[in-house]
Structure formats: C-alpha cells, structure tokens
Structure 1
Amino acid sequence: MSLSRKLSFALLIAFLVSIVYASLFSYMLYEGLYVKNLKTDMLQTGKRLALSYEGGAVRDSLINEINGFGEKSQFEVFAVKNPRELSMCLPFEIDYNALISGEDREKLLTGSPVYKKGHVKRLGRDVISVAVPLLDGKRLEGIIYLYYPLENLSEMTLRYSAYWLVGAFLFLLVALTLGNKWLKKTVKPLIEMKNAARELSSGNLAVRVANYHDDEIGQLAKTFNEMAESVQKEDERRKEFLANVSHELRTPLSYMKGYMEAIQTGVAKKEDIEQYENIIWRETNRMERLVDDLLDLAKFESREFSLKMAPIPLAQTVEESINKVKHRMAEKGIELERFLNYELIVEADEERLIQMLMNVLDNAINYTDTGGKISVSLAMEDSSFAVITISDTGQGIPEADLAKITERFYRVDKARTRKQGGTGLGLAIVDRLAKLHGGTMVIASEVGKGTSVSIRLPLV
C-alpha cells in the first residue's frame, strides 16, 4: 500500500472515530445535562408543592390542588395518602415493594426525597421519578410523586437521521476531496525523492530534487541534494584516484618492462646492463613505496583503524626522525638548525608520529637545493598544544597550489617529483594522521623562498 493510500485510510479512520466520539459525547451531554436538569427541576417542584402541607392527615383539597398542578406541569405530578395507591395512578403496572422499599421508606421518614431511574417495558423508555414525603412529625402521612418519561436518544437520532446522514455524507465528501489534494501535494516531493534515489542508485549522479518549503520534507530534500552532491564528488575523486594510480604505476612498469626486454633480448650492451638493473631496482622500490603509501592511506581513512596512543617526550621523537635523514642532508650540503623544547609531552602513536615527520623531512630535503637550510623547531602554543615546524629554503609552492597540496597524488612539479621518487601521497598521509591525533597540519610557502610545515598536536 502506498503512503498516499495509507494516509487516506488514516483520514477515513479519523473521520469514523470522530463520528463515534461525537455520538458518545452527545450521550454524555444527554446524561449529564438533560437528565440531571430534569432531576433538579423535579426535586425543586416537589419540595415547593410540599410546602403547602401544614401537618396532620393529608386533605383531599391538597391532593386535588397538587393533581391539578400536574395537569399544567411538564411532569406527571400527583399526591397520595398511601404509597400503595401509586399503582392506581401510574400508567404502568408496578409492584409496591419495588416502588417504595423499606430502605426508601426509612429515607422518606428522614424527610429526604427518593430519586429513581429505570426502564419501563410498557413505555419502551427510561423513566425518572422523585418521591417527596409529607411528614407530620415522624409519621409519613402522604407522598408527592413526580415522574417523567425520558425521550430515548435513539428517537432523537432517528428524528434527525436524514439531516445527519446528508450532513455526514457531505462532510465526508469534502474532507476526502480536500484531504486527497493535500495528501498529493504533501507526498509529491517524497515521490520525486524516491524516483531520484532510484536514478542515483542506477548511476545518474547528477540527479537532484526541487527545493521545497523549509519544513521537514524541505529539509529532507535539501539533505538528499547534499548527499547526491557528496556522492558525485566522491565518485569524481574515485575516478581521479584510479586514473592517478594507473598513471603512477604505468610509468615504473614501462621502465621495468623496457629495460628487462633490453637485457633479455641482448639489445642492452654489457656496460649498460648494470645501469639498467639499477633503474629497474629504483622503479621497483618506487612501486613498493607507492603501494605501501596507498595501503597506509586507506587504513587511516578506515573506521576500524585506531592509533596506539601513549605519552611521548616529543623532542626525543623529533631528534630520532632527524637522525634518520642527517646523512642525506650532509650529502646535499644542507645546513640543519634545530630549536627544541624538551619539556613537551604529547599523547600520540610514536610509530605514526615518526612516519609524519619523515614524510615532511623527505619533502624538505627533496625540494631544497645544495647549500640550502632546513630548520626544525618544537614549541608550546596556548599552553595546550605542541607545534612542530619544519621549514626549508627550497623552491616553494605557488599560492594557487597550497589548497590542493594535501590531495592524493597532487604535485606542483610532477616531472621533478617523479624523478626524485615521490609518490604524491606523503602530505595526504601527514594531514590525515594529524587529524587522527586531534591536531592539524598547516602549510605556508612562498615561491623562491621556501616552505614551512607546522604540525599541531595537543599536549598531555
């Protein structure tokens, strides 16, 4: 069953429940107001009539006076000297003991009226009655009896049944007509989103839904469009990533294949074989680093990955990372400066922290010319963070490339990076690891003057 039909069915049920509720409410009003008012009026009338009794035996003139009043009143009213005489006055057969019981007699002797309500088969309806005592001291000299046949609720309903049925039919017709129009208008955006979601799942990532009012459905439409846009961007990144991976792997494979064929077919000269083997070895290492970086990056972006956190003296870890690349700096004649605060302790994964520092240091060495300088500093910031800054005097990064430098495989100078063996994933890994540690990575650079990479980590 569609949502529209479910809502229409719900409206119909609500309408029927409303009718039942209206009927019950009408009955409650009938019982609570109509019957209650009749009882009050009968009691007051009976008490006023009883004021004419002056004591002693009930005179016939008083009985005639009360009976005469009954002919003009809306109630049936009469007076009797003996309760047994009531069966002669009532329009239906009734047992004396059932009419005035011993308990009722005791109540009448106290001066309190007796109220009763019951169904009379002969009249086919309920009757309410009030018996008011005429007391002379402690003697019950007579009774003023008032009764009124209640109008049956079904009679009232039948009397107005034609109007009721016509009104109910018209109300139902108008309610369902307007309700269906409102339902179609309400459900329309949901149907559009359902169709759009189906197209999205079939591969049409450009599908979008219209904007609606700023209610829950409008917010759902907005969220759907944001989701579709996110899926489209992610698909574009995936395609770009696969293209970059294919391109990055194709180059070393083509080198390896070409030089291996030259060696195996005897085309390569003996004096060149060693050089070709070295090239094959270099490209093999480059492919290995590329695969390792890809696996690391995929691992870091996985929800299952977790860091092995522990308190670490940060300056010691920074020095350990520097010592691993000091020989490369010496080979290029690069001057090293360090300014380290040895009191800073962070909670981090030491292995991943060294990986971050090594990636940044490798880039600094690769892009700093012979005779340049690399500076490494460690300082406190705002009493809550430790900041590791690695600066070089290399070629720098253009401002237009800074925003994209942490994207996977993004290169400012692809030819130079490939020649030096970079994978284009180093800074993407550093950025991701910094975020996993609750910190950030910030890059500042100026072309021709150098680059500065700052890693900000929370202190213990």
Structure 2
Amino acid sequence: MKLQFQLNAAFTALLIVIMTVTGFVIYSLILELLIQDEHRQLEQKGELLVNILNKEYRSDPSIQEISAFLREQDLQMFMYDHHNQHVLFSTMPSEVIQGFLSNNHIENSDELWEYGKNKYVSSKILFYPPNSGLELILLTPLKDLQAVQQNFFVRLLIVFLIGAMAAVILSYFLTNKLVTPLTRLKRQLKKIEKRQFDDIERIKASGEIKEVEQSVFEMASELQRYMRSQQTFFQNASHELKTPLMTIQGYAEGIRDGIFDKEDRERGLEIMVSEVNRLKKIINEMILLAKLDSEQTIYQKNEISAKNLINQVMDRTLPLVNEREITLHHDVDDTITFVGDEEKLLRALLNLTINGIRHANTQVYITVKTENKRKVIMIEDDGKGISEDVLPHLFHRFVKGKGGETGLGLAIARAIVEQSGGSITVGDSSLGGAKFIVTFFM
C-alpha cells in the first residue's frame, strides 16, 4: 500500500474513533441536560400555576373551578391531597396515576417516575399554605425528551459526517503535498542508482523533506565526485605502475638479448632495483590508503601527548633535515593531548613535515597550540608555495607537486586526520611557502 493511502487510512481511522467516542459522550450528556432542563421548566410552570390558583381562588374555591382552569393549560399533571391521600384532579389516565401510587413515587423525591416501560420527568409544587396538604404534580414523558435527543443527535451526526468528509478531503490534499516530493525524490534516487548524475533535478519541498532532499543531492554530488576520483585514481595508478614496469621490462629484455655491454648492464640492474623499490613503495601506499578508507579496526585510539608526538617527528626527519641543510623549528604546548592512533597520526605528520622539508629554502616551523576551543597543528615552510592549479586537488591521490614522489603522501595524511576526527587544510604561509593546518575540536 502506498504511503499516501496509509496516511489517509490512519487519519480516517483515528477520526472515526474520535468521532465515535465524542458522539457517545454527547449522546449520553444530552439526555441528562434535557432531563435537568425539563425538570426546571416544570418547576417554574408549577410555581406559576400555584401562584395563580392561590390568588384567583383564595376564597374557598371548588375543585370543579380549579380543574377547569388546569385543563386549559394542556399539561400532564394531577393534584394530590396528602391529608386524605387522594387524587383530586388529573389530566392523565387513572391507571397511570395508580401505577405512580403503587410505586410510592408521590411520597419519595424521585425526579424520574416509572409506569410500565414508560418513564416521566416530574416536579412537585406545594400549595400555599403548606399545611393545606395540597400538591400539584407536573410530568413530561421521557420518550418526548428522547425524541428531542435523537433529533439533535441526527443533526449532530450530519454535521460530523460533513466535517469528516471535509477533513478526509483536506487530509488527501495535505498527504498528497507531503508524498509528492517523496515520490519525486524516489525518481532521483533511481537516477543515482543508475549513475545518471547529470540528470538529477532539485525538488521543491519544505521542512524535514527539504533537509532529506538536500542530503540526497549532496550525497549524489559526493558520490559523483568519489566515482570520478576513483576513475582518476585507477587511471593515475595504472600510469604510475606502468612507467616503472616498462622501464624494468626494457632493461630486462635488453640484458636478456645481450644488447648492453657490461657497464650498461650494471647501470640497468641498478635502475631496475630502483624502479622495483619505487613500485613497491607505490603499492604499499595504495594498500595503506585502501585500508585507511575501508577498515575502521586498524585504528587503535588512545591518548597521545603532543610533545612526544612532535619529538618523534623531529627524530625521524633529522637525517633529511641535515641532508637538505634545513632548520626545523617547533613550538609545542606541553599540556595538549590528542586522541587517536599514535602510529598513524605520526605517519600523517611525517608526510606533511617531509613535504615541507623538500620544498623549503631554509626553515620549517611546527606549531601546536589551542585556538578558539580547537587543537591546532601548523606545519609551514619558506619555500615557493603551491601553484594555484594544483592547490584544489592537492589531497587527491596521485596528485604530485614539484619534487613529489608517489603522489599519495598527502592523501594518506588527509585520510588519517579525518579518521581521527580532525580536518586538514592548506594555504599560504607568512614565511612565503605553504602552511598545512591540522585541526581537532576539543
């Protein structure tokens, strides 16, 4: 069943339950209100009649005169003499009056009197003076009130039905407005499934659906970028692997066929060994990068001292620093610690530092500090900086700057930093070269 029908069915079922409960409560309450109102009206009419009788027939009126007056009122009533326990006048059948007497309703204060299967709302009014023992009793059949109750309920039911129809129609339009963007979003997801990224269209929506649509669009863009990067990665990887393999193949075939003399053979063997080592390094870094992207279990997180981490970077890069005759400075806040895999975070910082040493003219600075509730590691050099055409793609795989080796070092550094919960950016340094900034939120 489609979502729109499910929502409409659920809303309709809920509406029916609410209307049923409400109707039952109102139906029961109406009869109670009608009985109370009828009892009050009978009491008011009875008091009015008694007052008139007391005024008009004050001087020893005859029962015939009183009866004639009361019959003109067109009411169901009777007059009872408590002293003689006798009905003096009645507009109701005698068997009904006898039924009331046998049920002892007159002596009790019941509001509802019964005779057979019929019930009556009653009101008793004493004549003045009270010691006269005369009492006027007015009655209304309960079935008359039930008829009013049913008539009112029928009208209420009609109103409920009209309201329910209007609510269901409104629900249909609202759910249609809700479901239509989801249906369109489903079509766009099908396009993503078929990798038709250029055909994806934005959807007009609001609220949470708009947020989902935005997330789907961003996911599609990221997926497209990832697929393109993977395609570029395989193209670059094949090129990077093909070059040393062709070199090795060329020298191997030349040595096999005896084309080279002894000196060229020795030089060819050295080149073959160098290319094998380069090939091995590329493959190892590709394997590491694949593991960093896919295997979370290789990260063993623990607390790392910033001071110890930078000291290890200084020790590992010392031979290259001496070879390049570079001065490596460091300024570290000893109180700062990181949470991550120490070995891999060291690998990332080594890649960034070695990159700075290779491109520096005279000096490289490593700074570790806190800034705006963030832990920041900055590695900057005084070299020529990064060219504008390389800068946007610097952390992509097999993107090499001038003097680069495999083009995977910075990609590995970014993968490690991001998996450790940080971010890495690059920009221009005040020293004139590049500045890598690694940021961890506190």
Partner residue of 1:71? 71
2:132 is the counterpart of 1:128: no
Computed over aligned residues only, the root mean square deviation of the Cα atoms, in angstroms, reads 4.5
Residues 44-59 of structure 1: matches in 2 within 5 Å? Answer: 44-49=44-49
Counterpart-to-counterpart distance in 2, 1:37 and 1:4: 47
Gap runs ≥5 in structure 1:
108-112
2:112 is the counterpart of 1:116: yes
Counterpart-to-counterpart distance in 2, 1:378 and 1:447: 14
Match of 1:347 among 338, 350, 363: 338
Specify whether residues 62 and 77 from structure 1 end up closer, same or farther in structure 2 by C-alpha distance, changes over 3 A only.
farther
SS where residue 198 of structure 2 aligns?
A: coil
Specify whether residues 179 and 64 from structure 1 end up closer, same or farther in structure 2 by C-alpha distance, changes over 3 A only.
farther
| 8 Å CA contact retained: 1:389, 1:452 | yes
| 8 Å CA contact retained: 2:247, 2:275 | yes
TM-superposed deviation, 1:42:
1.4
Counterpart-to-counterpart distance in 1, 2:115 and 2:215: 65
TM-superposed deviation, 1:377:
4.2
Specify whether residues 153 and 298 from structure 1 end up closer, same or farther in structure 2 by C-alpha distance, changes over 3 A only.
farther
SS where residue 411 of structure 1 aligns?
A: coil
Specify the code of the residue in structure 2 equivalent to 1:35: I
Counterpart-to-counterpart distance in 2, 1:10 and 1:154: 35
Residues 148-187 of structure 1: matches in 2 within 5 Å? Answer: 148-150=140-142, 151=144, 153=146, 180=172, 183-187=175-179
Match of 1:402 among 367, 391, 394: 391
Q: Deviations over 1:13-36 (max 9, x none)?
A: 466557646754653463243322
2:308 is the counterpart of 1:312: no
Partner residue of 2:234? 242
Specify the code of the residue in structure 1 equivalent to 2:123: V
Specify the code of the residue in structure 1 equivalent to 2:390: D
Partner residue of 1:95? 99
| 8 Å CA contact retained: 1:77, 1:145 | yes
SS where residue 407 of structure 1 aligns?
A: coil
Q: Deviations over 1:66-110 (max 9, x none)?
A: 544543446312202255649986435453565315xx63x5xxx
SS where residue 79 of structure 1 aligns?
A: strand
TM-superposed deviation, 1:40:
0.7
| 8 Å CA contact retained: 1:359, 1:426 | yes
Deviates more, 1:179-188 or 1:272-281: 179-188
Partner residue of 2:329? 338
SS where residue 146 of structure 1 aligns?
A: strand
Residues 58-457 of structure 1: matches in 2 within 5 Å? Answer: 61=61, 63-64=63-64, 67-73=67-73, 75-81=75-81, 85=87, 90-91=92-93, 92-93=95-96, 95=99, 98-100=102-104, 105=107, 107=108, 113-118=109-114, 121=117, 126-132=119-125, 141-150=133-142, 151=144, 153=146, 180=172, 183-302=175-294, 303-304=296-297, 306-312=299-305, 314=307, 316-332=308-324, 334-340=325-331, 343=334, 345-347=336-338, 349-367=341-359, 372-378=361-367, 380=369, 382=371, 389-413=378-402, 416-417=403-404, 422-436=405-419, 440-445=423-428, 450-455=433-438
TM-superposed deviation, 1:148:
0.8
What is the TM-score with the length of structure 2 in the denominator?
A: 0.76
Give the fraction of aligned pairs with identical amino acids, expressed as a percent: 23
Counterpart-to-counterpart distance in 1, 2:310 and 2:71: 115
Counterpart-to-counterpart distance in 2, 1:160 and 1:357: 81
Gap runs ≥5 in structure 2:
none
Q: Deviations over 1:152-175 (max 9, x none)?
A: 6468757997x9999888877777
Specify the code of the residue in structure 2 equivalent to 1:80: Y
| 8 Å CA contact retained: 1:70, 1:76 | no
Specify the code of the residue in structure 2 equivalent to 1:116: L
